A and B are shown apart, each in its own frame.
Chain A
Amino acid sequence: MNEDYIDIILADDDEDDRLFFTDAFEELKITTKVSTYNDGVYLMDYLNSEEIILPNVLFLDLNMPRKSGMECLREIRANDKFKDIAVAIYSTSASEEDIEKTFVYGANIYIKKPDNFKKLKKVLSEVVTINWQYHTNGLNKEIFLLRL
């Protein structure tokens, strides 16, 4: 329709991870606009500022200094303004219990950080494509759960 790109945000304190992440998007078929934030406080400050275009997909690292991904997730899901954002947890490792907890608290996607660049591109491409389907087909985001 009017979409010509997908807005993406990543909050992650690891500089290398942020770099790989932005690089991976450059080769995708769907055009994306990626911005990154170094921790949860910066991220929430940005999201809560006025007059911004909210992202379509927000990737959250779980372990960040100052404000963790889980804290961000809970703040985001407590605010109706953010209901259209798909939240993807993007984390190195977590127990089954923790993974389920992120879903229960409103995450849509859980991604275990892949250990190589090729896999990362594949996983991110999958997320963006599925999210695109939800977006363009008006599917119910409340029951959008995806684990990769």
Chain B
Amino acid sequence: MKLFIKFDFNAVCRQVLKETLDLLDIKYNILGFGEVEILEKLSPDKYEALNKSLNKYNIEIVENQKSILVQKIKDTIIDMILNDETKVTIKTSAYLANTLGHSYGYLSNLFSEVTYTSIENFIILQKIEYTKQLIIKGNLSLTEIAFKLNYSSVAHLSTQFKNTTGITPSAFQRIITKRRQIQQTTN
């Protein structure tokens, strides 16, 4: 037996989108012309889940080229910070330009435009975040952390920590320790 079917491509896509978004419990508004307005803040996890579910139907979320390049800049920087081996003498600006194949001026302008911060500030923020994680882990002294993250001295790291967060590394450690004690007693 042969059945002849007729379908409306648009209606099918709309239905797939609707079901996928409903399943993930996302509030949305389908605008047509391949646009969906998301009416809530999507966490990175949920965004990934949505992307994955849509890929099953060969539907792709089209990301803009600029944000892809910005993400690459971020990944390269984080990689440089976390990876001791890239702790080479090469300057970050030259390293980024070489790795990503654009001039540093271009990368730097693009980065500021998209992220509301500069590459320099982003690097500092990431290094301080990493410092916080290492402080909490407690295996390394601040001097060792400063060395690991390529600071010229522990004083330099302390100053940058204080300038970025408004508190000293030792106050940070004290606050997190107390916070955990409270959490333990209430659990």
Contacts and interface: CB of A to CB of B under 8 A. Distances in A.
Chains A and B come from one and the same complex: yes
B38 interface: yes
The B interface is mostly helix, strand or loop, or mixed, namely helix
**Residue of A2, A106, A129, A146 with most partner-chain B CB within 10 A:** A2
A138 B75 CA distance: 12
Main secondary structure of the interface of A (DSSP, over half): loop
Nearest to B114: A136
A139 B129 contact: yes
Given A1-B67, A103-B175, A104-B175, A140 B116 contact: no
A147 B165 contact: yes
B41 A3 contact: yes
B176 to A, nearest CB: 7
A100 B175 contact: yes
Interface string A77-100: 010000010000000000000001
B122 A1 contact: no
A133 B179 contact: no
Interface string B122-159: 10010001001100100000000000000000000000
* Chain B, interface residues (CB within 8 Å), range: 20 to 34
A85 B33 CA distance: 34
Interface string B27-69: 0000000000010111110010000000000000000000100
A148 B162 CA distance: 11
B40 to A, nearest CB: 6
B80 to A, nearest CB: 15
Interface in A48-105: 53, 56, 78, 84, 100, 103-105
Interface of B: 38, 40-44, 47, 67, 74, 115-117, 122, 125, 129, 132-133, 136, 165-167, 171-172, 174-176, 178-179, 182, 186
Given A146-B165, A147-B167, A136 B129 contact: no
Contacts of A146: 165-166
A1 B68 CA distance: 10
Contacts of B117: 129, 132-133
Query: Which size class do A's interface residues fall under?
Result: 20 to 34
B46 to A, nearest CB: 10
Interface string A130-148: 1011001111100101111
Given A140-B129, A143-B176, A133 B115 contact: yes
Contacts of B136: 143
29 contacts: A1-B67, A2-B38, A2-B41, A29-B116, A53-B40, A53-B41, A56-B41, A78-B186, A84-B43, A100-B174, A100-B175, A103-B167, A103-B175, A105-B179, A105-B182, A129-B116, A132-B116, A132-B117, A133-B115, A136-B115, A138-B44, A139-B129, A140-B133, A143-B129, A143-B176, A145-B165, A145-B175, A146-B165, A147-B166
